[in-house]
Homo-oligomer: A and B are copies of this chain.
Amino acid sequence: MLSLTRKTDYALIALCHMAAQPNRVCTAREIAERHGLPQSLLMNVLKSLSQSDLVESTRGAKGGYRLGKGPTEITLSAIIEAVEGPVKFVQCATHKEGDDPSCDIMETCPIRRPVQVIQHRLEAFLAGIVLADLAERTSSDSCVNLSISGNPQPPTGGTGQHQAAN
């Protein structure tokens, strides 16, 4: 369905929670109770984030989690990758030479190249969104900030405006 999993949802919520309180450590329980998430699952997610250094964890009493980087350094693609694994728009997109082919028509596939280009553009898209963008609108309730993006700006029209990638 081309959708994120719920784990990523939880990750985003937890990260926003931490971003809003940069000067203290937050426990999994606190975050779970505050936002009504299942605590055990949230802990799994926080573990993943910790292993990817997106959050720092402190064990023991008075322990908890805090952001491991600044909110402008944590990209959406890093979050997704930490929780769900690498984004694969199509299975063959991240295929390396010599790998066991995930798809048995690799050699003759007529759409492989163009689809890989789309993959790169999607990665760039996700890498361009950072936690600060999300957290910002979370605290202030204004609707405005993200919405430069807000008007979806139909990209269909022109061939050839600027491109960010490649």
List chain A positions with a Cβ less than 8 A from chain B. 1-6, 9, 12-13, 16-17, 35-37, 72, 75-76, 80, 84-91, 103-105, 108-111, 113-115, 117-118, 120-125, 127-130, 132-134, 136-138, 141, 143-166
Contacts and interface: CB of A to CB of B under 8 A. Distances in A.
A110 B130 CA distance: 16
A3 B4 contact: no
A110 B138 contact: yes
| A contact patch SS | loop
Q: How many copies does the complex hold?
A: 2
A32 B132 CA distance: 47
10 contacts: A1-B5, A37-B105, A72-B162, A75-B156, A76-B118, A125-B155, A128-B164, A133-B156, A144-B158, A151-B162
